[in-house]
C-alpha cells in the first residue's frame, strides 16, 4: 500500500525539488492558500459525506510535511504517518489513509552526500510552496553569512593594526579572507593570541609582532 495513493498505472515517480537535508525547520509559518483549499473537491466531498474530521487530519499532515526532511514531504511508512497524523493506532489511520492523502503521490528524494534515492510522499501544490520558501531561505542565509564574514574580516584587520602587523599583510585581501574562514570554521574569538596562531598556521607567518602601543613608547 505504501506509496500507492491512487489506482493509476505504475510510473516512475518524479524527483522532489528539495534534497535530503534541505529543510524549513526554522520557519514557524508557511503560506496556506485558503481559497484553493476551501474550494477543493476534497473539502466538498468530506463535508457532504459527514467526514469533517478528514479535513483536520489533512491540514495536520500538510503542516507536518513542512517540518519534515526534506521540506514538504511525508514518509511512506504507515506507522510514521499514523503518528504524524495524531492517530492512536495504525488501524485507525488506515481507515482514513486513502481519503486524507488525496493528491499525495510518491516522489524520489536524493541524498546529496551518498547519491542514494529514497521514496517519500509529496503534493504538487506544496511543491511550489516549498521551492519558493527554500529559495528565499537560501538567500537570507547567504546574506547573513556574507555579513558575518565581513565583520570577521573587519575585526581581523583592526586587530592586526593594533598588534603592529606589517601593513602589506593587513591590506592583503586574500590573506584576510583565509584568516576569516579559519576563525569561522574553528569558531573561536579573534584575540591577539588566536590571531598570532592563525597567522602562523594559515599564512605561515612567524615574524615578530609588536603592538603599536610599544612603538609609541619608544
User: Residue 197: how many CB atoms within 10 A of its CB?
Assistant: 14
Question: How far are the Cα atoms of 111, 172, 202, 206 from residue 163, in angstroms, in the given order?
Answer: 46, 16, 17, 14
- What's the mean pLDDT when you consider all of the chain? 85
- d(Cα 12, Cα 9) in Å, to the nearest integer? 10
Half-sphere exposure of 196 (CA within 13 A, CB side): 11
List the alpha helices (DSSP H) in 23-171.
Answer: 34-38, 41-48, 52-65, 78-84, 90-100, 124-163, 167-170
What digits encode the pLDDT tens for the residues 118-147? 999 999 989 988 988 888 777 576 677 778
Please state the domain extents for the chain: 14-122, 146-217
Decide: 34 and 126 in contact? Cβ < 8 Å: no
Classify residue 141 by its DSSP letter: H
What's the pLDDT band for 29 if we cut at 50, 70, 90? confident
What digits encode the pLDDT tens for the residues 12-22? 899 999 999 99
What's the pLDDT band for 208 if we cut at 50, 70, 90? low
Per-residue confidence (pLDDT) for residue 141, from 0 to 100:
65
What would the mean pLDDT of 93-122 be, rounded to a whole number? 95
Strands of 35-99 (E only): list them. 73-74
- d(Cα 38, Cα 22) in Å, to the nearest integer? 29
Is the link from the previous residue into 70 a cis peptide, with omega within 30 of 0?
Answer: yes
Q: Quickly tell me which residue has 510522499 as its cell.
A: 121
Nearest-Å Rg of the Cα atoms of the chain is: 27
Decide: 19 and 109 in contact? Cβ < 8 Å: yes
Q: Is the model's pLDDT at 82 over the cut of 80?
A: yes
What percent of the chain has pLDDT above 70? 85
Per-residue confidence (pLDDT) for residue 169, from 0 to 100:
84
What digits encode the pLDDT tens for the residues 147-163? 888 888 888 989 888 88
Amino acid at each position: 500500500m505504501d506509496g500507492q495513493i491512487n489506482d493509476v498505472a505504475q510510473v516512475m515517480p518524479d524527483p522532489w525539488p528539495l534534497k535530503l537535508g534541505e529543510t524549513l525547520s526554522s520557519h514557524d509559518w508557511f503560506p496556506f492558500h485558503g481559497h484553493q483549499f476551501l474550494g477543493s473537491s476534497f473539502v466538498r466531498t468530506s463535508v457532504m459525506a459527514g467526514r469533517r474530521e478528514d479535513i483536520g487530519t489533512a491540514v495536520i499532515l500538510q503542516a507536518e510535511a513542512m517540518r519534515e526532511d526534506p521540506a514538504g514531504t511525508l514518509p511512506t511508512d504507515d506507522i510514521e504517518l499514523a503518528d504524524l497524523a495524531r492517530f492512536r493506532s495504525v488501524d485507525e489511520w488506515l481507515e482514513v489513509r486513502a481519503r486524507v492523502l488525496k493528491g499525495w503521490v510518491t516522489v524520489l528524494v536524493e541524498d546529496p552526500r551518498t547519491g542514494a534515492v529514497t521514496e517519500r510522499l509529496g503534493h504538487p501544490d506544496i511543491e511550489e510552496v516549498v521551492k519558493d520558501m527554500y529559495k528565499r531561505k537560501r538567500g537570507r542565509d547567504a546574506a547573513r553569512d556574507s555579513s558575518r564574514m565581513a565583520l570577521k574580516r573587519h575585526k581581523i584587520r583592526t586587530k592586526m593594526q593594533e598588534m603592529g602587523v606589517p601593513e602589506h599583510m593587513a591590506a592583503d585581501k586574500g590573506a584576510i579572507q583565509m584568516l576569516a574562514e579559519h576563525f569561522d570554521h574553528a569558531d573561536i574569538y579573534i584575540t591577539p593570541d588566536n590571531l598570532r596562531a592563525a597567522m602562523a598556521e594559515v599564512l605561515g607567518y612567524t615574524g615578530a609582532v609588536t603592538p603599536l602601543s610599544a612603538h609609541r613608547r619608544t
